[in-house]
Amino acid sequence: AERTSYRELCRRAEQLHHQHTGQFIKLCHTTVLRRFRGGQSMLQFNAGKALVGPEEACILITYIKEMGDRGFPLDYRWLAEHANELITLRLGPSFPGVGINWAERFVQAHDDELD
């Protein structure tokens, strides 16, 4: 059987996608090869960089909702302090704390869960 290069496989997949959807896409043969060999996706890579995991995010979302139910407006400083406490429990006292805009970005990222 004749071997086909990853570059050619990607080109064929691009053509098939265009035939079926009418949309042009570009596949990088090195990315396909890396993923085939078990490499991380960007989603996995970025998830590994997150300061809070899914469980901690759930705790923080619950905290925001409970404070709102009690009539307290969202305070990014309080949220950051609460996040620092949770993360320090996992990473230890050497954790320097979340960044200046971390709480605001967290709320934006989880906006759909806070409605």
Q: Quick: pLDDT tens for 22-44.
A: 999 999 999 999 999 999 998 88
CB of 34 closer than 8 Å to CB of 8 = no
Task: Write down the pTM of the prediction.
Answer: 0.63
Contact 9, 32 (CB under 8 A): yes
- 64 burial via Cβ count (<10 Å: 0-12, 13-18, 19+): buried
pLDDT digits (tens, 9 = 90+) for 60-113: 999 999 999 999 999 999 999 999 999 999 999 999 999 999 999 999 999 999
CA distance 15 to 67: 52
